[in-house]
Chain A
Amino acid sequence: MAGPGGDMQWCFSQVKGAIDDDVAEADIISTVEFNHTGELLATGDKGGRVVIFQQEIENKSQPQFRSEYNVYSTFQSHEPEFDYLKSLEIEEKINKIRWLPQKNAAQFLLSTNDKTIKLWKISERDKRPEGYNLKEEDGRYKDPNTITSLRVPVLIPMDLMVEASPRRVFANAHTYHINSISVNSDEETYLSADDLRINLWNLEITDRSFNIVDIKPANMEELTEVITAAEFHPHQCNTFVYSSSKGTIRLCDMRASALCDKHSKLFEEPEDPSNRSFFSEIISSISDVKFSHNGRYMMTRDYLSVKIWDLNMENRPVETHQVHEYLRSKLCSLYENDCIFDKFECCWNGNDSVVMTGSYNNFFRMFDRGQRRDVTLEASRENSKPMQVLKPRKVCAGGKRKKDEISVDSLDFNKKILHTAWHPQDNIIAVATTNNLYIFQDKVN
């Protein structure tokens, strides 16, 4: 069966992570991000660790089997901390990872928890010096009296070692919990956003940041909305957007003023009164906003849908895709079990023709914009034979359940896919279930 993007057929490629059903909380994946070439894939988890996978060189003897991702580096990015002033623990969970464009041999990424952003340098070492004059090979200093000649140390090959070192720590700039970071196209600055403020940083300077958005009211009792996500425009270094818990998106131009409290554009769709319910406010809260690669569109994710906005049209989205509309009648139960607060992310494919987002029961959805088709796929160990084609899944909203359909009441709401990523050039996707990372690829015909 042809899927989105023409004759794309998604096949299982790899799965990373423990097989046991008993999930350690520290292993819960909290963010997934490809780098700009797609060669590297980074994941962050609740335990503050970052694991980077690298795509191996293509296997020429098996052209239909695209290269695999193997562990390249693992490091502890953040540790739990304690704020003594407020008597609060600061979680080490990695909220976001963003890669910097590569400028030299080393790779750089930004990782953030609730309060602190760190710039990590990941570099390879495949040579080591040998033949020091004053030291033995094991590091002990020689007795100077035994040294009779002088030699130049030489570099000899060694097993590849990948080192991760923290180069910058950007701390103490956020009172509230950081939800987003975004690297500017100028490759010199980046923004970090918390619930009420957005700060602009220079990658070189850690002791200062500029506050560019501040929506904190003078009286906190008047608080009606918070910032939920923010992102820089992919090409225009002066433009960024931020989404709110009220379902609005504001586009700001940093050339207009130092403090961008006044938006340049406000994107908001009037609420459909027939859908008004007690939980309307919660489900309209935007959990993710992403610009398209070409910079013409942006996509927002709220609890039940994905919306695509043309930057030139503020009053309504150009496309709305229902992710799991069958949940609308279950909002009360989803409120009780806390699922209504889940923050799903969304992503674009390389040429902006297909968008993807996660759902429950380890389902994820793809929407082909051009062909106006959508598909539901599942990430599960049962469908994890090499190159096994994923069969489209269907949820039965009510009435008679057909064969192979799954009823809404059978969905496992503990199995949620919040984080997904699409390779910037190829049809390779990374989908994170609770503690496993699945990699799927398009079957190359």
Chain B
Amino acid sequence: MEVNAEARRILAVSISKLYASRTQRGGLRLHRSLLLSLVMRSARDIYHSSREIEAQLADAEPMEAGSCSWDQWSLPSLRQREPESARQSRKRRGKVSAAPDFLPSKRARLEPGEERYAAMLGSCRAGAVESLTALSLNRVIPAF
């Protein structure tokens, strides 16, 4: 579905922006990073929701090839799907954040982000958006 592809594209673009913002003069900008993380979160939610709809439609009847322009996609129609995907994502987040317990609690800045951004970029290029959603987008902001 086109929206699916759009969501992945937006995610890829967002991640490259996040990665690029690390090297710009003046350091990470909190406002910009916050807006990027909001976009990424929405893209991730829409990606999940559209995949669920896809799956459900595939079960029900053959899907029509419809063209949906990204900007015309209305979020309210997807909101009913959100609780399930959100619950799922929350579960995954919990698992991931439990993982690095063995690491010291005080980390140098940017290190957690560095690993994650590299992981995000790599997985995005490979097309495996699922691994993206497994990583908590909330980790973007605590880098400050």
Are these two chains actual partners, yes or no?
Answer: yes
Interface positions of A (Cβ within 8 A of B): 83, 86-91, 93, 114, 176-177, 195-196, 220-221, 223-226, 228, 245, 273, 276-279, 281-282, 285, 328-329, 331-332, 335-336, 338, 341
| Majority SS at the chain B contact face | helix
Map CB proximity to A onto B116-144 as digits: 1 under 8 Å, 0 otherwise.
Answer: 00000000000000000000101101101
Alpha-carbon separation in the docked complex, A238 to B136 (Å): 42
| Majority SS at the chain A contact face | loop
B32 touches A341 (CB 8 A): yes
B30 touches A177 (CB 8 A): yes
B29 touches A329 (CB 8 A): no
B111 to chain A, nearest CB (A): 12
A195 touches B30 (CB 8 A): yes
A129 to chain B, nearest CB (A): 45
A221 touches B141 (CB 8 A): yes
Question: Whose C-beta in chain B lies nearest to the C-beta of A245?
Answer: B31
A220 touches B38 (CB 8 A): no
Question: Whose C-beta in chain A lies nearest to the C-beta of B37?
Answer: A223
B27 touches A276 (CB 8 A): no
B13 touches A89 (CB 8 A): no
Residues in A neighbouring B42, C-beta threshold 8 A? 278, 281
Residues in B neighbouring A177, C-beta threshold 8 A? 26, 29-31
Map CB proximity to A onto B49-61 as digits: 1 under 8 Å, 0 otherwise.
Answer: 0000000000000
Whether A176 contacts B26 in the complex (CB less than 8 A), given A221-B138, A279-B39, A336-B13, comes out as: no
The yes or no answer to B34 lying at the interface (CB within 8 A) is yes
A85 to chain B, nearest CB (A): 10
The yes or no answer to B25 lying at the interface (CB within 8 A) is yes
Residues in B neighbouring A228, C-beta threshold 8 A? 31
Whether A89 contacts B25 in the complex (CB less than 8 A), given A277-B71, A329-B71, comes out as: yes
Most buried by B among A224, A285, A335: A335
A278 touches B71 (CB 8 A): yes
